[in-house]
Amino acid sequence: MSILTIEGGAKLDGEISVSGNKNAVLPMLAAAFLTDEPIQLHNVPDILDVRTMLEIASALGAQYDFSNDSLTICTAGLHTACVSSELCAKNRTSVLFAAPLLHRMQKAELSLPGGDGIGRRRLDGHIYGLKSLGAHFLKDKTFAFETAGRLRGRELFLDEASVTATEHILLAAVLAEGTTVLYNAACEPHVADLAELLNRMGAKISGHGSNTITIVGVDSLHRATHTVASDHIEAGSFIALAAATGARLTIRGTSPRYYWMTRRVFERLGVRMTLHPDRIFVPGGQAMRIDNDFGGYIPTISDGTWPQYPSDMMSCTIVAATQARGTALFFEKMFESRLYFVDRLIAMGANAIVCDPHRVVVTGRTKLHGMSLSSPDIRAGMAMVIAALCANGTSKISNSQVIRRGYSDLVGKLTRIGAKIREED
């Protein structure tokens, strides 16, 4: 188990470059199994979740070369349709190997996926999609399917705009016979980026980036090279870091269209930023003050499906709010365990009331103090890092390897802007 030691109060200033999108590259590694030709990816973050997906790929028979931020993977050696329960339990996106295995092996045997303990995360959309396209769900197994032949395209409607279910249906439909039209699809940037890779491989996908996606099935896919888009959640985390600590920060490798809602939310907290074509600039030393709703009412900051505010941003934004004058209600609609980490903030001195599993009221500005903590999930772990950086004294965050599941070279990036942080195993 790793431990982060952080001395709070250091003056932070400088530039941070955003790594590739974690939630884009993970399904891309499953997509590599849709062809036996090599797939080359650039701007790949070296994070634990990528290493886990590569471990699964290797167990299935793939060969890969991963150096710096470039990855070449070839799945010509695929020799089994089974993924062990130990590997499946390591992350959420292990389920996405099911569709490619069905295309290549006519069967897929997996176990329930792991991932962050932020609440119930349904698999019903995955099962609905694969069954609707013609796969037979083996109920006596944990998460297993088989097919007697090629999958068949059709119209589908998701009862929730699930990101991973949308990605899974894309992986299933690209080689299915006929056309699939997916309604109420997730339209997050990483879903669109996956579709871009599949099109480079020879797929015929249109409408990605909207909630209606059309996939015309093709007979085969081929080699491709693709650069993974930058991670808007990582960039948003650094915006929260700059806001909470008063740092002057330039965040490089961004595209403005992914941060319009993020800017709106941080404007509510009194944070100014400038969105440039390839970077975001957050001025230092801002006097944060929460902007009430018209009439003087306490504002509500809530998450939602894209293009609403991402659920993955809520934890870090709550920490930023503790350093703003005023009161805000945070309404986390999507996961019932996301806000449990707030108890740790309260122990650090935050003035917050957890109303129920989905709502917390934060009143600032409060002085936080360092203490020993444990990271429960990726985003809460990053939120604790931000809290520790703006706190008085020293904090120790145990179970910090969880943060490395989603943030590449975090210690190095923070050290280069002046943070006093080190990690020990």
Q: 118: which 2 tokens?
A: 């932020």
Map residue 352 onto helix, strand or coil. strand
- Contact present, 51 and 27 (Cβ < 8 Å): no
Starting at the earlier edge strand, list the strands of the sheet with 224-227: 63-67, 70-74, 39-42, 224-227
- Contact present, 9 and 15 (Cβ < 8 Å): no
Q: What is the pLDDT of residue 115?
A: 60
Domain containing 260 equals 3-19+230-424
pLDDT band at 140 (very low <50, low <70, confident <90, very high): low
Q: What is the pLDDT of residue 121?
A: 63
User: For 340-374, what is each residue's pLDDT tens digit?
Assistant: 999 999 999 999 999 999 999 999 999 999 999 99
Map residue 342 onto helix, strand or coil. helix
Active site residue 116: yes
Rounded distance, CA 41 to CA 69, Å? 8
Rounded distance, CA 352 to CA 359, Å? 10
Answer yes or no: do 287 and 408 share one domain.
yes
- What string of DSSP letters covers 157-171? E-SS--HHHHHHHHH
Answer yes or no: do 202 and 272 share one domain.
no
Q: What is the mean pLDDT of residues 133-139?
A: 93
Answer yes or no: do 172 and 70 share one domain.
yes
- Contact present, 63 and 74 (Cβ < 8 Å): yes
Answer yes or no: do 163 and 305 share one domain.
no
Give the CATH number, domain containing residue 271: 3.65.10.10
Peptide bond into 307 cis (omega under 30): yes
- Report the percentage of the chain scoring pLDDT > 70: 98
Answer yes or no: do 222 and 327 share one domain.
no
Answer yes or no: do 83 and 172 share one domain.
yes
Above 90 in pLDDT, residue 334?
no
The number of distinct structural domains making up the chain is 2
Q: Active site residue: 46, 65, 116, 377, which one? A: 116
Answer yes or no: do 8 and 47 share one domain.
no
pTM of the entire predicted model: 0.96
Q: Among 170, 195, 227, where does a domain finish?
A: 227
Q: Among 184, 202, 227, where does a domain finish?
A: 227
User: For 275-328, what is each residue's pLDDT tens digit?
Assistant: 999 999 999 999 999 999 999 999 999 999 999 999 999 999 999 999 999 999
User: For 100-115, what is each residue's pLDDT tens digit?
Assistant: 999 999 999 998 887 6
Answer yes or no: do 179 and 222 share one domain.
yes
Q: Among 187, 211, 227, where does a domain finish?
A: 227
